[in-house]
Chains A and B, each alone.
Chain A
Amino acid sequence: EAGVAQSPRYKIIEKRQSVAFWCNPISGHATLYWYQQILGQGPKLLIQFQNNGVVDDSQLPKDRFSAERLKGVDSTLKIQPAKLEDSAVYLCASSPILAGVPTGELFFGEGSRLTVL
């Protein structure tokens, strides 16, 4: 079974530029997450989708971050304009649903490492 795919793996941009990350979850997984992991910290949820609807985006800085999951499969996360403090690894994860309820077991991609100069 193919895992969660993310691209690009690495991105270096200057502040105020924009960047987009792409995620392809495990086939059949209805729930998709974007997490931000700053160096030395645990992952922090940015947004959670179930199919193509947003379940939780309370910690997404909406003035500069946006995410979408068209057709309930792939997802993109965009940052515009980027700030120095956005330097982090952006992790995508997906999770299956069992009897209509998320199982809670998340499968993570390798992440996209962003450096903002």
Chain B
Amino acid sequence: AQKVTQAQTEISVVEKEDVTLDCVYETRDTTYYLFWYKQPPSGELVFLIRRNSFDEQNEISGRYSWNFQKSTSSFNFTITASQVVDSAVYFCALSEVGYSTLTFGKGTMLLVSP
């Protein structure tokens, strides 16, 4: 069975601090996708990134970066120089390749104060 664990329930930082959100996953599949979604107070889940299990290259997109380590089954998300607009709940998710049902973690609430 697939499982996604986000151990951090809530993180509070001050604007401009860097913050890392942890994600650990379990799967018996050798090929799978990992995702991060952002859920702002409005409630709509917004897709941030999808990584294939064969691609362990780290990715950077502006202030966002992702560190995928298959050896530790982790897919961590770092926000550099956080901003108040980054305040949201962030979900890590997992799916089998070719079968798009996502298994979500419980989410990490990030609060960025001015």
Q: A-side interface residues toward B, CB under 8 Å?
A: 3, 31, 33, 40-45, 48, 55-56, 89, 91, 93, 95, 101-111, 113
Contacts and interface: CB of A to CB of B under 8 A. Distances in A.
Nearest to B91: A42
B45 A91 contact: yes
Contact of A95 (B93, B100, B105): B100
Query: How many B residues touch the partner, as a band?
Result: 20 to 34
A43 B100 contact: no
Contact of A89 (B33, B43, B95, B99): B43
B62 interface: no
Majority-rule SS of A interface residues: strand
Contact of A33 (B43, B93, B99, B101): B101
B44 A108 contact: yes
A104 B49 CA distance: 11
30 contacts: A40-B106, A41-B106, A41-B107, A42-B91, A42-B107, A44-B104, A45-B101, A45-B102, A45-B103, A48-B100, A55-B101, A89-B43, A91-B45, A95-B100, A103-B100, A104-B33, A104-B35, A104-B50, A104-B100, A105-B35, A105-B47, A106-B47, A106-B100, A106-B102, A109-B44, A110-B43, A110-B44, A111-B43, A111-B44, A113-B43
B90 to A, nearest CB: 11
B45 A56 contact: no
Nearest to A113: B43
Contacts of A55: 101
B42 interface: yes
Contacts of A108: 37, 44-46
A113 B42 CA distance: 12
Interface string B28-45: 000001010100001111
Contacts of B104: 42-44
B114 interface: no
Interface string B75-98: 000000000000000010101011
Contacts of A105: 35, 47, 50
A21 B37 CA distance: 23
